[in-house]
Chains A and B, each alone.
Chain A
Amino acid sequence: MRHLDLGEADRLLWLLTPQRGVLRATARGARKPGSKLGGHIDLLCYVKLSIREGRDLHGVSQADTVDAFRGMRTDIGRVSRGLYMAELAQQVSVEDAPAPAVFRLLVNGLGWMATTESPDALIRWYVLRLLTITGFMPEFGSCAECGNVLEPGDHVFSAERGGLVCPACRSQGSDVLHPASLGTIKVLRHLARSDYPAVAALSVGEEERRQIERILRAHASTVLDRGVRSSAFLDEIRDWPEAGPVPGGLHRGS
């Protein structure tokens, strides 16, 4: 999930494991070119590890790659999204607490990120699913304030209140409200109840896409109580065109 250089040639790793949640472990000599560990313990790799338990830090004694998601690693747009997914997974996990559902979601998510035609749809689905399996699914069926079933109308989303708010309740409180059109609400409900392959081909309009992203980000940062550092890089790369010159880049005559 994350690593830091340690000593001469060692590496300190933050690992996400199904059995023990986040584990910190050192990989001795992993930065040397001939290391048996180095190639297996890069970021965003699904790896089988043998861990030697230590008092403060554990040690990695063996590593074997299960899936390095090569299709993701060669595309900077997919890498930026994969890092965002991993950081979110790390933020909802804690040390020494089992996290099998988060682990499985991240492995499946990175696998799809390596091949999907619609990486942004995957991110939207992943964030919502991660919030759901960790018990923070926003309320999309009824008003988060009064509990009444939502009828078509001028609804808004409140991250502080944890879901959609009906027109009658929207003026209560001083929280930030995000617009949520009927189309946005339909897409959010569909994302919440479907598996990824079923939503991969879902066509979402530009306005709905913007609303959904604002809603999911607001909800995630409220739940996590901190920002997601990799989102800045994701935003920068996402604004780039598929091909050709990019903002701030060089071109003939510049």
Chain B
Amino acid sequence: MNSNTTPSAAPPVARLIEAFNRLPGVGPKSAQRLTYFMIRMPREEAEALAEALLSVKDRIVLCSICLNITESPECSVCTNARRDRTRICVVEEPLDVLAIERTRAYAGLYHVLHGSISPVNGIGADQLKIRELLDRLRDESVTELILATNPNLEGEATSMYLQRLISPLGIKITRLARGLSSGADLEYADEMTLANALEGRSEIVIDREASAG
């Protein structure tokens, strides 16, 4: 956004609007709303926000092993001796690690690619942290690689790409199940989701002893 869109704003205000406008998902109107909210904010809150922003820039680094965002050279997952070191779950973004951790269903390690292959946006495999993943896999203790990229065309392309690179090594490669989400209506499901759900259907096993008891 340039200053022409906020002709009457004082220069510091226009600068802040422009700074907000550069954030992903923040349009000109939202940038203006955020700026005028900040103007009315008490000084100590504004200082706390500025301090938090600078601290993120000063103290945050990428984990030297999994490339997740961390405050120390190695993140808390990679240094945790109780994590299963034979499994690596590959995700696109650091936020995906948080989402999987919230499930408490996974105790292995992670690898963050920092994106997915997006040819139409000019993002190729060499712009992702794939070389670092291959270096980790040379360690023979890894027996399973879980591909947890997003279930869309670019995420799938990234998974297929990794699979071709890694499969000759003989490591078990799995991916997250595809199918219907909990609470969804079948009639609104798209054909790909339904087809994937049918392909990945599982047998209902009845525990006869438990039901008799």
Contact = CB atoms under 8 A, between A and B. Distances in A.
B139 to A, nearest CB: 12
B119 A232 contact: yes
Nearest to A86: B120
A1 B154 CA distance: 12
- Size bin of chain B's contact surface: 35 or more
Contacts of B119: 80, 83-84, 87, 229-230, 232-234
Nearest to A233: B119
Interface string A23-50: 0000000000110100110111000000
B153 interface: yes
A70 B199 CA distance: 13
Interface of A: 1-2, 5-8, 10, 33-34, 36, 39-40, 42-44, 63, 65, 68, 70, 73-76, 79-80, 83-84, 86-87, 229-230, 232-234, 236, 240, 244-246, 248-252, 254
7 contacts: A39-B189, A42-B152, A43-B120, A73-B156, A74-B160, A230-B120, A248-B165
Contacts of B42: none
B191 A5 contact: no
A43 B181 CA distance: 20
Contacts of B192: 39, 42, 65, 68, 70, 73
Interface string B129-142: 00000100110000
B77 interface: no
Interface in B183-202: 183-184, 188-193, 195
Given A73-B192, A233-B119, A236-B125, 6 more contacts: A7-B25, A34-B181, A65-B192, A250-B134, A250-B165, A252-B169
B138 to A, nearest CB: 7
B12 interface: no
Interface in B1-23: none
Given A229-B120, A233-B117, A34 B169 contact: no
B130 to A, nearest CB: 9
Is chain B's binding surface mostly helix, strand, loop or mixed? Answer: helix
Contacts of B73: none
B181 A68 contact: no
A119 to B, nearest CB: 15
Given A6-B25, A34-B183, A233-B119, A39 B165 contact: no
Contacts of A86: 120
Contacts of B164: 76, 240, 246, 249
User: When A and B form their complex, which 8 residue pairs have the shortest distance between CB atoms, in order from nearest?
Assistant: A39-B190, A230-B119, A233-B119, A249-B165, A76-B160, A7-B25, A33-B181, A43-B153
A40 B181 CA distance: 15
Interface string B150-193: 00111011001100111011100000000001011000111111
Nearest to A36: B188
A249 B138 CA distance: 11
B213 interface: no
Interface in B52-100: none
